[in-house]
Chains A and B, each alone.
Chain A
Amino acid sequence: MNPYVLATLLFSLGLGTTLTFASSHWLLAWMGLEINTLAIIPLMAQHNHPRAIEATTKYFLTQATAAAMLLFASLTNAWLTGQWDIQLMSHPLPTTLASLALALKIGLAPLHTWLPEVLQGLDLPTGLILSTWQKLAPLTLLLQLQPMNSSLLIILGLTSTLIGGWGGLNQTQLRKILAYSSTAHLGWMVLVLQFAPSLTFLTLIIYLTMTFSTFLTFNLNNSTTINTLATSWAKAPVISSLAPLMLLSLGGLPPLTGFMPKWLILQELTKQDLAPAATLAALSALLSLYFYLRLSYAMALTMSPNNLTGTLPWRLLPSQHSLPLAISMTASLSLLPLTPALTALFTL
C-alpha cells in the first residue's frame, strides 16, 4: 500500500481510539468508534482477494449494527434522562442496549459469531490490530457504564469463556483459534467488570501483550494452520522453544504471566460470594488450555520423522524486526512475580 495512505489510515486508527478515550459525551465517543471502523476497513481490504473483501464486508456490517445500536441507546438515554454523559447513564434500558452493542463490537458470546470468520479472512498483522487495538475503545466505554442488571455481564462473561473454549477445540486454522481465544479472554474481563474494574484493565493489558506475542510468532513462521506450525523448529528454533510457554501463558498456567489475571479474578469473584461462577469459569479455562496445549504440542513437542541431517536448522538471517516480539514475549512469560506492582500500576 502507498505509504502515505498507510500512514493516514494508521493515524486515523489511533485518532479514533484516542477520541473515544478522551470523551465524556456519547456522541463524541460514537464518533471515535466510527472513525476507527472506517479507518480499518481499507486496511482489511488491502489484499483485494475475495476472502478479504468478504471479511471486510462482514466486519463493516457487524460494527455498523453495533454502532447504530449504541447511538440508539445514547439517544434513548438522552430522551429519558436528559443528558449525554457516559458515566451518568442511570436507566436500565439504554444501559442494557449499550452493553450489548459494545459486546457485539468486541465479540463477546453469544455475539461472537462474526469474529472467527472475519479474522480468518485477514492476514496476520491486520488480524493483530483487529484483536488488540480494536478492543480498547469499546472496553473503555464498557468500563464507564454502570450496569443496572448485574447478572447480564456475568452471563455474558461465563458464556464467552465456555464458548471460547468449546469453539476453539474443533479448529485447525490458527486465526480462528485466536478468535475464540479472544472471546474467552474478553469473557474473563467482562466477568469481573462490575466488581473490580481495575482487574479488567489489568487483564486487558496482559491479554494484549500475550496476543501480540502470539500473532507475531505466527507471522514470523508464516504459518496459519497447525500443520505449518510443525516445521517452525527449522525456521526459528529459539522462538519455537519459547512459543509453547507463551501459549500456555495464554492458557493461564502458573508460573507464567497469564495466570495472574485469572487468579485475581477468581479471588475477586469468591470475595463477592460468586463461588459457582468462579468454579465454572475455572473449569472453562481447562477447555481453552487444551487447544493451546495442542498448538504447543504441534509446534515444539513433536517432530515429523526425518533423518539426522534433515534435523539441522537452517541458519537464515531474520527478515523481520524481532525486537517487539522479544519485549512482549519476555513480558508474557515472566511477569507473574511482579503481580503487586502491576496491580498497583493498573488501578483505575
Chain B
Amino acid sequence: MYATPHILTSCLIIVLIILVFPLLTTLSPHQRNSDWPLSQVKTSVKIAFFTSMVPLCLFLDEGAEVIVTSWTWMNTLTFDVNISFKFDMYSIIFTPVALYVTWSILEFTSWYMHTDPLVNRFFKYLLTFLIAMIILVTANNLFQLFIGWEGVGIMSFLLISWWYGRADANTAALQAVIYNRVGDIGLIFAMAWMAMNLNSWEMQQVFLTSEDLDLTFPLIGLIIAATGKSAQFGLHPWLPAAMEGPTPVSALLHSSTMVVAGIFLLIRMSPLMEKNPLALTICLCLGALTTVFTATCALTQNDIKKIVAFSTSSQLGLMMVAIGLNQPQLAFLHICTHAFFKAMLFLCSGSIIHHLWDQQDIRMMGGARFLCPTTTTCLGIGSLALTGTPFLAGFFSKDAILEALSNSHLNAWALILTLIATMFTAVYSLRLIIFVALGNPRTPRSIFQMNEVDPAITNPIKRLAWGSILAGLLITSNIIPLKTPEMTMPDEVKTAALMVTLLGFLLALDLGNLTGHQLKSTTQRPVHLFSNLLGFFPPIMHRLSPKLSLSFGQMVASQMTDQTWLEKTGPKAVTSINMSLVTTTSNAQQGLIKTYLALFLVTITLATLLISL
C-alpha cells in the first residue's frame, strides 16, 4: 500500500543525490582527470535521467503525486520554513525532460568546449545550475523556490560571462542580473505579502487560506517576477544579450530551463490566479505584446543565435498568453515540448558556428547542407517543430494554445497579435533556413571542413530530434487534461494557426524573391531599423533611466541639500545680506561736510516732528 510513495520519494531524492555527488567531489583539492566532465558529470546526468523515468512511469500508471516535507529548517512561534518537495504532475514530467535535454547538451559541450582550459569548471557550473533548477521545480514552498530562483539567476550570470575578457559578455551578464533582480522585487513582495497575510509559504496553506482575500497585489508581484525571469516585454533585453555566453549555456539556460522558471512559477500559483481576472488579463496582454514584439525583432537579426534567442522570447510570450487564458497545463505542455526543439536549434547553431570556425553572422553563412548534413536536417526538423507543423512536438502545444485563444471570450487584440507572431515565426524560421542551409557558402572559412566526425556532435542532436518529433505525442497521450478543451469550432478557426503559418512561409518566400530586384531607389530604413535595433528599447532604457536617477540624485544631494539649504539660505545668506548693508554704510562717507550737516538737519526735523505726535 505504501510502496508507491516510497518508490516515488526515494527515486526523486536519489536523483538529487546523483546530481549533487559530482559537485561534492570537486570540494577536494585532488586534481581531477581530464575526462572528468564526460565520465562523471554527463554520466551522472544520464543516470539521473533514467532514475527519474521510474517516478514518471509510476505517475503515468497510477497518477501518483507526492509531497515530502523533510525538515523544519527555521521556526518562529507562528511561522515555519520547511524543506519540502512537491512531486506532482508538473515536476514529475519536467524533471525527466530537463535531465534528457541536459544530458544531450552536456555531451555536446564535451565537443564544443573541449579546447577550453577551464572546461571542468564549466561543467561544474552547468551542473550547479541544473541542481538549482530541479530545486526550483520541486519546491513546495516559496522559500525553497526562491533558493532555486536565485541559484539559477547567479549561475546564469556566471555562465553568460564565461569569456569574461570580452566587455560585451560582462555587460550582458550584468544586464541579466539586473533585470532578474528587478523581477525578484516582485517575487519578494509576493512572499512578504503571503507571510504577512497568509502566515505561511507552503503552497498548500497558501491556496487554502487565500480563498476570500483580494490577491491582486501578490499576483502582480508574481507577474513582475515572471516578467523578469522569463523576459517578457519591459524586462526583456537581457535575453538576446545573454547570447554572449557559449552556445551550451544558451541551449540549457536561455531556451529550455531557466527562462521558463517564471512561467513555471505562475503555473504553480495558478490556483491563486484563477479567480483574479485582472491578473489574467495582464498576463494575456503582456504575453501577446511580448510574442509579437520579439518576433518582429527576430525578423531582421543577422546573428544566428540572436534569431533563436528572439524565437525563445516569442515562445515565452506564447506561454504567458496560455497562462492568461487560465490554461496553465497548456503552458506547461509548451514548456516541455519547447525545451526539446529549442535546445536542438541551439545545438545545431553551435555546431554550424564551430564548423565555420566561429562565424555567427548568417549573411556570411550558406550551404551548410554540404558541410554538416545531419545538423542541417535537424535544424529543419527543429524549425518545423517550432512553427507548429502538424504532429511534430510543437504542434500539440502551440495549436492547443491558439485554439484555446480563438475559442475564448477574452481579448481579441491579444488573439490578433498572437496570430501575427505565429506568422512571423514562420518568416524568420524560413529566413534562417534559407540563409544558413541553402545556397552556397559565402565565407572562405568553410574550406577547412570538419564534417561532423565526432559522434559527440551528432548523437545529442539526433536524440533531441527524436524528442522534438515524439515528445508532443507522448506527453499529450499520457496526461489528463485539467480543463475541458473546446471540441467544436468552425473550420477556419480550427485551421487558423496552420493557415497563418503557411501564409507566413509564402510571404517569406516572396520577400526573399524581392532581394533580387530593386524596386525602390533607396532602402526603407525606419521599419528595418526598428526591427533590427530591438525597437530601440535597450538604447533608450539603458541610458534614460540611469541618467534620470543620477541627475535627480545630483540635484537633490548637491544642489538642493548642499547648495541651497546648507549654503544659500544659511551662512551665505547672512553674508550676502550684510555685505549690501556694509557697502551702503561705508559709501555714505563721501568726505563732504554737506553729508554731516544734512543728516543733522534731517534728524532734527524728524525728531521735532515726532515730539508732536
**Are the chains A and B members of one assembly?**
yes
**Distance in Å: Cβ of B134 to nearest Cβ of chain A:** 75
A117 at the interface (CB under 8 A from B): yes
* B582 touches which of A114, A117, A152, A167 (Cβ 8 Å): A167
CB neighbors of A among B593-613 (8 A): 593, 595-597, 599-600, 602-604, 607-608, 610-611
Residues of B within 8 A of A110 (CB): 599, 602-603
Closest to A108 in B: B603
Contact B586 A170 (CB under 8 A): yes
B585 at the interface (CB under 8 A from A): yes
Contact B582 A169 (CB under 8 A): yes
A234 at the interface (CB under 8 A from B): no
Contact (A166, B600) CB under 8 Å given A96-B611, A116-B589, A149-B611? no
Contact B596 A114 (CB under 8 A): yes
Contact B604 A113 (CB under 8 A): no
Residues of A within 8 A of B595 (CB): 113
Contact A97 B604 (CB under 8 A): yes
A148 at the interface (CB under 8 A from B): yes
A287 at the interface (CB under 8 A from B): yes
As a 0/1 sequence over residues 299 to 337 of chain A, the CB contacts with chain B under 8 angstroms (1 = contact) are 000000000000000000000000000000000000000
A171 at the interface (CB under 8 A from B): yes
Contact A65 B597 (CB under 8 A): yes
B39 at the interface (CB under 8 A from A): no
Q: In the assembly, what is the distance between CA of A97 and CA of B606, in Å?
A: 11
Residues of A within 8 A of B603 (CB): 100, 110-111
Contact (A287, B589) CB under 8 Å given A97-B604, A110-B599, A170-B583? no
Give the interface SS of chain B, mostly helix, strand, loop or mixed: helix
**Distance in Å: Cβ of A167 to nearest Cβ of chain B:** 4
A163 at the interface (CB under 8 A from B): yes
Residues of A within 8 A of B611 (CB): 92-93, 96, 148-149
Q: In the assembly, what is the distance between CA of A93 and CA of B608, in Å?
A: 7
Contact A113 B596 (CB under 8 A): yes
**Distance in Å: Cβ of A327 to nearest Cβ of chain B:** 34
B581 at the interface (CB under 8 A from A): yes
Residues of B within 8 A of A169 (CB): 578, 582
Closest to B613 in A: A149
A7 at the interface (CB under 8 A from B): no
CB neighbors of A among B531-585 (8 A): 578, 581-585
Q: In the assembly, what is the distance between CA of A191 and CA of B528, in Å?
A: 86
Contact A167 B585 (CB under 8 A): yes
Q: In the assembly, what is the distance between CA of A215 and CA of B582, in Å?
A: 24
A61 at the interface (CB under 8 A from B): yes
Closest to A92 in B: B611
**Distance in Å: Cβ of A282 to nearest Cβ of chain B:** 15
Residues of B within 8 A of A116 (CB): 589
**Distance in Å: Cβ of A257 to nearest Cβ of chain B:** 27
Contact B610 A149 (CB under 8 A): yes
Most-contacted residue by chain B among A113, A117, A167, A169 (CB, 10 A): A113
* B593 touches which of A58, A69, A96 (Cβ 8 Å): A58
A62 at the interface (CB under 8 A from B): yes
CB neighbors of A among B421-469 (8 A): none
B3 at the interface (CB under 8 A from A): no
Contact B578 A113 (CB under 8 A): no
Give the interface SS of chain A, mostly helix, strand, loop or mixed: helix
Contact B600 A111 (CB under 8 A): yes
CB neighbors of A among B177-205 (8 A): none
B591 at the interface (CB under 8 A from A): yes
A174 at the interface (CB under 8 A from B): no
Closest to A166 in B: B585
Residues of A within 8 A of B578 (CB): 166, 169, 287
A104 at the interface (CB under 8 A from B): yes
**Distance in Å: Cβ of A193 to nearest Cβ of chain B:** 16
Closest to A54 in B: B591
Count residues on chain A whose CB falls below 8 Å from chain B CBs.
27
**Distance in Å: Cβ of A91 to nearest Cβ of chain B:** 10
**Distance in Å: Cβ of B574 to nearest Cβ of chain A:** 10
Q: In the assembly, what is the distance between CA of A100 and CA of B603, in Å?
A: 8
Q: In the assembly, what is the distance between CA of A114 and CA of B376, in Å?
A: 106
Closest to A151 in B: B610
Residues of B within 8 A of A97 (CB): 604, 607-608
Contact B607 A96 (CB under 8 A): yes
B482 at the interface (CB under 8 A from A): no
Contact A100 B607 (CB under 8 A): yes
Contact A100 B599 (CB under 8 A): no
Q: In the assembly, what is the distance between CA of A171 and CA of B600, in Å?
A: 24
Q: In the assembly, what is the distance between CA of A100 and CA of B604, in Å?
A: 7
Residues of B within 8 A of A62 (CB): 593, 596
As a 0/1 sequence over residues 158 to 170 of chain A, the CB contacts with chain B under 8 angstroms (1 = contact) are 0000010011011
B24 at the interface (CB under 8 A from A): no
CB neighbors of B among A143-192 (8 A): 148-149, 152, 163, 166-167, 169-171
Contact (A166, B589) CB under 8 Å given A65-B597, A104-B600, A110-B603? no
Most-contacted residue by chain A among B578, B586, B591, B597 (CB, 10 A): B586
CB neighbors of B among A97-140 (8 A): 97, 100, 104, 110-111, 113-114, 116-117
**Distance in Å: Cβ of A279 to nearest Cβ of chain B:** 16
**Distance in Å: Cβ of B575 to nearest Cβ of chain A:** 11
**Distance in Å: Cβ of B609 to nearest Cβ of chain A:** 10
B588 at the interface (CB under 8 A from A): yes
As a 0/1 sequence over residues 60 to 71 of chain A, the CB contacts with chain B under 8 angstroms (1 = contact) are 011001000100
**Distance in Å: Cβ of A98 to nearest Cβ of chain B:** 11
Residues of A within 8 A of B608 (CB): 93, 96-97
**Distance in Å: Cβ of A260 to nearest Cβ of chain B:** 27
Contact B600 A117 (CB under 8 A): no
Contact (A167, B586) CB under 8 Å given A93-B608, A93-B611? yes
Q: In the assembly, what is the distance between CA of A69 and CA of B603, in Å?
A: 13
Contact B596 A111 (CB under 8 A): yes
Residues of A within 8 A of B586 (CB): 166-167, 170-171
Contact (A117, B591) CB under 8 Å given A170-B583, A171-B586? yes
Residues of B within 8 A of A96 (CB): 607-608, 611
**Distance in Å: Cβ of A58 to nearest Cβ of chain B:** 6
Contact B600 A163 (CB under 8 A): no
* A152 touches which of B583, B589, B591, B607 (Cβ 8 Å): B607
Q: In the assembly, what is the distance between CA of A111 and CA of B596, in Å?
A: 7
CB neighbors of A among B145-188 (8 A): none
Closest to B587 in A: A170
Contact A113 B588 (CB under 8 A): yes
Residues of A within 8 A of B584 (CB): 166
**Distance in Å: Cβ of B495 to nearest Cβ of chain A:** 91
Residues of A within 8 A of B593 (CB): 58, 61-62, 114
**Distance in Å: Cβ of B354 to nearest Cβ of chain A:** 73
Residues of A within 8 A of B607 (CB): 96-97, 100, 149, 152
Closest to B604 in A: A100
**Distance in Å: Cβ of B400 to nearest Cβ of chain A:** 84
Residues of B within 8 A of A93 (CB): 608, 611
User: Please, could you name 13 A-B residue pairs with CB atoms under 8 Å apart, sorted by A?
Assistant: A65-B596, A96-B608, A97-B608, A114-B596, A116-B589, A149-B610, A166-B584, A166-B585, A167-B582, A167-B586, A169-B582, A170-B582, A171-B586
Which of B's residues lie within 8 Å of A, judged by CB?
578, 581-586, 588-589, 591, 593, 595-597, 599-600, 602-604, 607-608, 610-611
Considering the complex of A and B, which 10 residue pairs feature the smallest CB-CB distances, nearest first?
A170-B586, A166-B585, A167-B585, A169-B582, A114-B596, A92-B611, A166-B582, A96-B607, A170-B582, A166-B581
Known: A69-B604, A93-B611. 20 other contacts (CB 8 A): A62-B593, A93-B608, A96-B611, A97-B608, A104-B600, A111-B596, A111-B603, A113-B588, A113-B595, A113-B596, A114-B596, A117-B591, A166-B584, A167-B586, A167-B589, A170-B582, A170-B583, A170-B585, A170-B586, A287-B578
